[in-house]
Copies of this chain bind each other. A is one copy, B any other.
Amino acid sequence: MLVQKYRDMLSQKSVIRQLSEFAAARGREIGYENVFDYSLGNPSVPVPREFTEAMIHMLTTRESNELHGYSPNPGITSVREAVAASLEGRFSLPYRKEHIFMASGAAGALAHAFRLVTEPGDEVLTFAPFFPEYHPYVDLTGAVLRVVPPDTESFQINFEKLEEMLTEKVTAVLVNTPNNPSGVVYSAETLNRLADTLRRKSGEYGHDIYLISDEPYREIVFDGAETPCVSCFYDNTIMCYSFSKSLSLPGERIGYVAVNPRCRHAEEMVSMCVQISRGIGHNCPPSIIQLAVARVLDRTADLSVYETNMKLLYEELVGLGFTCVRPGGTFYIFPRALEEDAKLFCEKALKYDLILVPGDSFGAPGFFRMAYCIDTEKVKRSLGALERFVRETYGR
C-alpha cells in the first residue's frame, strides 16, 4: 500500500548525482584534488562575514523565544518589509511586504508558485536547456511540464516553437535567467518579445498566463552587466528567489516569492501561498535565517571567482575548437560535445578524471554542462587534462 508513483521514482537515478558519486569514489582512489569534478552546482565561495556576524550577534543578544519563535505564516513582517524595500530600490516596482512570501529556498518558492496558477492537467512551459528538477517540481503537482526545444545558436528563446506550444492549456511559463545549465542571460529583447507573446496569447485565450521566474543566479552576472529584471517586462510575473547562490548558503533553505505588485490580485496571491503551505507542510523558512538574511539583503558573497573560472574555461574551450555560447552569468558553461552522443563524450572524458554532465537531461542532447563553482587553481590544472582528452580522443 505504499504509493507506487514515489516507489517508481526510486529506480530513476539522476545522472548528475551518479557522476558526483563517481567523482567522490574516484577521489578516494587518487585524492579528490586530482578529480576535475564539474558535476555539481554547489556554491564554493565563503558566506559573507556580515551574515555570520549577524547570526552570532542575534544569538548572543536576543531573547531566545523571540529569536526562535514561530514566524508568521507569510514570513517575519520586518523581513518581508526589508525584502520589499530592497526590490523596490533595485527594480523600481512598488513592492510592499504584502507582495512578499518568505519560502524555503527556490524549491519552496516554486512549489507555491506552481500551485497558485495551475490545476491538475494544466500545462507549464519551460525552455531547454533547463534544470531537470523542474520535472518533478511540476509533474508531482498534477500539472504537466512541457519543454520548448532550444535555440542552440544563442540559448535565448526559440520563439517559433513557443508559438506552437503555447496552447490554451498553458497557464504558466517558467523561465530561469541567468540560466542553468547554459549560463546565458536572457536579453531585454528576448524578455520583451516573451512578454508580448504572453500578453497576446492571454488576450486570445481569455485567461491570464503567468510568468514564473526562477532567479537563483540573478546576482552572478559577468562583465559588469546586470540581469534584466524579468518582472519589469510583464505584470503577471511571480518571482522565485533563493539566497543559496548569492550568499553561498544553499543548506539554509532561504528564499522568497515576490509577486509583481502590478499583477492582478497580487496581495491575494500571497495570502493564497499561506494556504498552499498548509497542504505541503511548508510553514516558513527558519526564523533566525530569515532575520539574518534581512541584514545582508544587498550584499553577496565574493562571486568574482566564478567569472575568473568562466573566462579560463571559455577561452580554453574555444581554443580547442569547441562551439560554445559565452556565459553571461551563473557558474555553468554548456558547450557542444565533440561527437553527437554527449553521453559517450562525457564517458570518454572520465578517463581523464574530467567529470562532465551530458546535456540530455537538460533537454539539449549533444551538449554538456560544466559547473565551475570550484577553485580556480583546480580549473587551471584541469585545462591540461581537457587538452589531452581532446587531442587523444578526437585528434585535435
Contact = CB atoms under 8 A, between A and B. Distances in A.
A119 interface: yes
Number of copies: 2
A253 B285 contact: yes
Given A56-B56, A64-B248, A248-B68, A112 B208 contact: no
A101 to B, nearest CB: 12
Would you list the 9 A-B pairs with minimal beta carbon distance, nearest first? A111-B281, A140-B279, A251-B287, A68-B249, A136-B278, A47-B64, A280-B280, A9-B275, A108-B281
A288 B285 CA distance: 13
Interface residues on chain A, size class: 35 or more
Given A69-B42, A111-B281, A279-B137, A253 B286 contact: yes
Contacts of A59: 52, 55-56, 59
Contact of A109 (B137, B272, B281): B281
A111 B280 contact: yes
Interface of A: 1-3, 6-7, 9-10, 42-47, 52, 55-56, 59-60, 63-65, 67-71, 103-105, 107-112, 115-119, 133, 136-137, 139-141, 171, 207-208, 210, 248-254, 265, 268-269, 271-272, 275-276, 278-289
B282 A107 contact: yes
B251 A71 contact: yes
A275 B68 contact: no
Contact of A251 (B139, B208, B286): B286
A136 B283 CA distance: 13
B248 A104 contact: no
A295 B276 CA distance: 33
A25 to B, nearest CB: 16
Contact of A68 (B60, B140, B251): B251
- Most chain-B CB neighbours within 10 Å: which of A3, A171, A254? A3
Contacts of A271: 10
B136 A275 contact: yes
B115 A278 contact: no
Nearest to A205: B1
A349 B284 CA distance: 33
Contact of A69 (B207, B251, B282, B283): B251
A60 B248 CA distance: 17
